[in-house]
Structure 1
Amino acid sequence: MLAMKGITKQFYGVKALQDVTFELRKGEVHALVGENGAGKSTLMKVLAGIHAPDEGTIELNGRTIQIGSPQQSQKHGFAIIHQELNLVPHMSVAENIFLGRERRKAGVFSNFRAMVEETRRLLDQFGLALDPEAKVSALSIGEKQIVEIAKALSMNSEVLIMDEPTAVLEEREAGRLFELIRRFKEQGVSIVYISHRLHELRGICDRITVLRDGRHVTTQEMEGLTERDIANLMVGRELKDMYPDRPSRFGEELLRVEGLTLAPHFENISFGVRSGEIVGFAGLIGAGRTELMRTLFGDWQAQRGTVEWKGKPVAIRNPLDAVGLGFGFATEDRKGSGLLLEMNVAHNMTLTNPAKVSRWQLIRRKSEAAIVGDKVRELNIKAKSLSGPVKHLSGGNQQKVVIAKWLVSDTELFIMDEPTRGIDVGARSEIYNLIVRFASEGKAVIVVSSELQELLGICNRIYVMHHGTLRGELAAEEANEQNIMAMATGL
């Protein structure tokens, strides 16, 4: 039903897409994969009317069509769930979902109650008790992602483009989304599914198209392909094992948390992390994991409880106190709170420790260049220029910049919240190797992740949270998806 032929698009002289062909059948789920920067999102933004192609044509049901704006794209029956959230923070959930398509009484007055009820029906499909009247700014990033999905579903489109829809969803919420996808497929809706979670694809996708460096590599039936096959097609080489060997030599306990409470987010949380150890935190959306980490980093203030660092009680009143102790926090939203997107790569890296590259409050360019250059080589960061805005880097390289800034700050405790969100398979492997390397150097690492395989692959121990409480602790040898999910759901 849909054919994109010879699509070429360049930005500032760099070709993001080169003569790309993509076809979509009616009622199929078609996976679109590739490394960060392969051109997946750019191709779909052409379809969504966000970018106009420099060359090529788009055909819908045998007719050549022109898509000059998002409004024209919607009129043709296309809806897109963006990888980067596209919500208005100060507006309610219902207002965001129907923004530009407000329900009205007598064709004039806004019918807010009708939008609230329809929003509630959409959210019920995910089993979330999310208030349609709540401000989006008060939601977690996982809840915001579900609002973005609900917005696209409300359009009743013929073609639904899903760009990393499960990147911050837990297994249960992702499972509900897959059920919806199967239902849409039965109704004849065609779906383009972009994901770096390769294990998802074989269960829901009929065909797969691989892009690499802005070019079409192959389109194949999904049946018979393994995750390794897909990964090798994406990177153009044979990938080694995804997860490195876990560290096995631990030192003294660096961090001890006792009875930490911040109602209604979490209550009476106690745990510890040793030198050289990678500790994971699992749980469903709303379990309180991110809120706990933000409190530990001084972004929020606990109502009661104690924190000990290297055997001594500490008061963490703000993030500056945490950084002074040697804490680093790679947040789950690297673009919203981990990076200053308009600032260049070098300045982002040295932001947490300006004293290392300045004197008398003046930046010493040679010192900055030397330190940043070391980290670029150490983390294999690919950037055309360190003086260019960090927003122009791929997701994987942006995440490495987030990690690099904490390395510059001589961090001893790394808190990593969704460290591989929206990152391709090649970059993921590099991030995992970095995490294990930090631990092997005697640092302590906390990893919060929605991906159980990730936690099982790299962590020495896993704590599981449910509705703000700690349900249990599992050693790597005894942990599996079944017992983690049993704890996460309160069974």
Structure 2
Amino acid sequence: MTDDILRMRGITKTFPGVKALQDVNLSVRRGEIHAICGENGAGKSTLMKVLSGVYPHGTYEGEIEFDGQVSEFGGIRNSEHAGIVIIHQELALCPQLSVAENIFLGNERASRGFIDWNRTNRDAAELMARVGLRESPTTQISDIGVGKQQLVEIAKALSKEVRLLILDEPTAALNDDDSAHLLDLLRGLRDQGITCVIISHKLNEIIAIADSITVLRDGRTIETLDTASGAVTEDRIISGMVGRDLENRFPPHEPHIGEEILRIEDWTVHSPAQPGRKVVSGAGLTLRRGEIVGLAGLMGAGRTELAMSVFGRAYGVNISGRIFKDGRQIELRSVQDAIRHGIAYATEDRKRYGLNLIEDIKRNVSAAGLPRLGRRGWVNEHEEYRVAEEYRKSMNIKAPSVASVVGQLSGGNQQKVVLSKWIYTDPDVLILDEPTRGIDVGAKYEIYTIINRLADEGKAVLVISSELPELLGLCDRIYTLSQGRVTGEVPRSEATQERLMHYMTMGQE
């Protein structure tokens, strides 16, 4: 029997006007962790959807051989029956159902048309123990965090007797602890003989866990690297992904910092779910024209809550404190107030809150700035098209036209649409919450270039990021948050990961 559990040969997949995959070849050894890397739009997720039957046989060219047999999957059920299970980046769980119900959804433990709840909960508890979940099987999905929800998805895959597990960006929304636990779990599954294919932009994690790495670029297979050789580095992978060496991860930038433009004093925010609990307490910070300021903190520190509450009280209750713009105190009681005062906020969750995924680029770009396009309640569609086309070109949004549906764009291009939407409102202050989450290194460089350009135009930019190297490489000054309080303010010249982490954990038990 061959050592390869999977062989994909000559896979070509075409969408209207776009060839997403062209003659792609992939071989995966039995019992290994195989990583697939590539820029946004390289074809990684498309290839896995072909494999798992999301794109059924007949909609693509090429051949799939699984465990020595030519496979022609007509849908997900066919691939799952063969032992191939895919976990998508957007988790497919029902929040109102229990963990046990989610694990066996579509694969119920039933007899004579009735669900055996004792067996369901007992079997779920066994699977949960395998993935390290200690909650009760009857716990509702909405009551556990995203890291544990990812483990529920893996338990669900194990219930289907998975032989090849595909994970698309499994750690993109996880903190460091949850990511480390998930990677340890994948190592354990490998030791049990389960083959894993993982798609990720986090190259440090890929190098730490993968046995082999296949690099895709522009829908083609570039190379497959064996990590056992010890010669695989992040720079080596990046070179294959982008077709060139990235000598610097961050574009060079000479700051031109002007006068103070925004000041926040004694800002306190209470949780809307628990009004007695402070999520931000007495926070204060300043932003200057032409300055890029970072905001660092561990998960739950209150970074997003601070940003959203400042942006027209989009989050929180019992909010108190003062905001000064150009030296004058202002009241921001709604998102419209914030936009009117020249403040923009790009959310960390672009798919849920930042974009209308079923609309085109044109409508998304104009969404926050419609008053600039309208007159007497009517939108000038010709001007709307012109503006969107201008941003498509200047932001290098890779799409055939501004009529392209945003939901079909890669993550990096979606993020550029989000930025275009807010830049069009002509803000003085931009708050960017995790602006490069789930984006490859090439697209990150483009986003960094855009941020530098905005600062050079005299705008103040506040960058919230979970990646300390990103803040260190991009920002002129960095604030730290811990348990809702500002614990440090560090200039770029004095900032190190160790110093930031010290401030980020102040007051932690």
Is this a same-fold pair by TM over 0.5? yes
1:154-182 Cα shifts (integer Å, max 9, x gaps): 42222221211121222222222222222
Alignment equivalent of 1:266, drawn from 259, 276, 279: 279
Instruction: Indicate whether 1:251 and 2:259 are aligned.
Output: yes
SS at match of 1:168: coil
1:51-98 Cα shifts (integer Å, max 9, x gaps): 124222222222223322222222222222212333334445554444
Distance in 2 separating the partners of 1:449 and 1:82: 23
For structure 1, which runs of at least 5 residues remain unmatched after alignment? none
Distance in 2 separating the partners of 1:367 and 1:296: 31
Shift in CA distance, 348/113, structure 1 to aligned 2, threshold 3 Å: same
Contact 2:94–2:102 (Cα < 8 Å) also in 1: yes
Q: CA deviation at 1:146?
A: 4.3
Alignment equivalent of 2:215, drawn from 184, 204, 210: 210
Q: Which amino acid aligns with 1:173?
A: D
Q: CA deviation at 1:320?
A: 1.5
The equivalent of 2:439 in structure 1 is 423
Distance in 2 separating the partners of 1:447 and 1:122: 38
1:120-168 Cα shifts (integer Å, max 9, x gaps): 757855x9x89973453x77xxx33641343124422222212111212
**Runs (4+) of structure 1 moved beyond 6 Å?**
129-132
Instruction: Indicate whether 1:194 and 2:199 are aligned.
Output: yes
Shift in CA distance, 187/319, structure 1 to aligned 2, threshold 3 Å: same
Alignment equivalent of 1:144, drawn from 143, 146, 158: 146
Q: CA deviation at 1:399?
A: 0.6
The equivalent of 2:457 in structure 1 is 441
Contact 2:146–2:174 (Cα < 8 Å) also in 1: no
Instruction: Indicate whether 1:63 and 2:38 are aligned.
Output: no
Q: Percent identity at matched positions?
A: 42
Contact 1:328–1:414 (Cα < 8 Å) also in 2: yes
Shift in CA distance, 118/426, structure 1 to aligned 2, threshold 3 Å: same
Distance in 2 separating the partners of 1:484 and 1:267: 19
The equivalent of 2:274 in structure 1 is none
SS at match of 1:482: helix
Contact 1:37–1:213 (Cα < 8 Å) also in 2: yes
Q: CA deviation at 1:3?
A: 1.3
Contact 2:65–2:71 (Cα < 8 Å) also in 1: yes
Instruction: Indicate whether 1:73 and 2:88 are aligned.
Output: no
Larger Rg: 2
Instruction: Indicate whether 1:24 and 2:28 are aligned.
Output: yes
For structure 2, which runs of at least 5 residues remain unmatched after alignment? 272-276
Q: Which amino acid aligns with 1:453?
A: P
Shift in CA distance, 119/76, structure 1 to aligned 2, threshold 3 Å: closer
Instruction: Please provide the CA RMSD for this pair.
Output: 2.8
Range 67-76 or range 113-122, more displaced: 113-122
The TM-score normalised by the length of structure 2 is 0.87
Contact 2:295–2:463 (Cα < 8 Å) also in 1: yes
Q: CA deviation at 1:350?
A: 1.0
Range 323-332 or range 398-407, more displaced: 323-332
Distance in 2 separating the partners of 1:147 and 1:370: 43
Contact 1:383–1:393 (Cα < 8 Å) also in 2: yes
Q: CA deviation at 1:244?
A: 2.5
Shift in CA distance, 131/456, structure 1 to aligned 2, threshold 3 Å: farther
1:400-444 Cα shifts (integer Å, max 9, x gaps): 110001111011221111111221211110101111222232222
Instruction: Indicate whether 1:484 and 2:500 are aligned.
Output: yes
Range 424-433 or range 95-104, more displaced: 95-104
The equivalent of 1:372 in structure 2 is 388
User: What are the equivalent positions in structure 2 for 1:356-367 lying under 5 Å apart?
Assistant: 356-367=372-383
Aligned residues: 485
Shift in CA distance, 452/99, structure 1 to aligned 2, threshold 3 Å: farther
SS at match of 2:34: strand
1:340-365 Cα shifts (integer Å, max 9, x gaps): 11222111111111122222222223
The equivalent of 2:398 in structure 1 is 382
Contact 1:52–1:68 (Cα < 8 Å) also in 2: yes
Q: CA deviation at 1:384?
A: 0.3
Shift in CA distance, 13/411, structure 1 to aligned 2, threshold 3 Å: closer
1:205-261 Cα shifts (integer Å, max 9, x gaps): 121111122111111213312222211211223334121345362421513141412
The TM-score normalised by the length of structure 1 is 0.90
The equivalent of 1:133 in structure 2 is 139
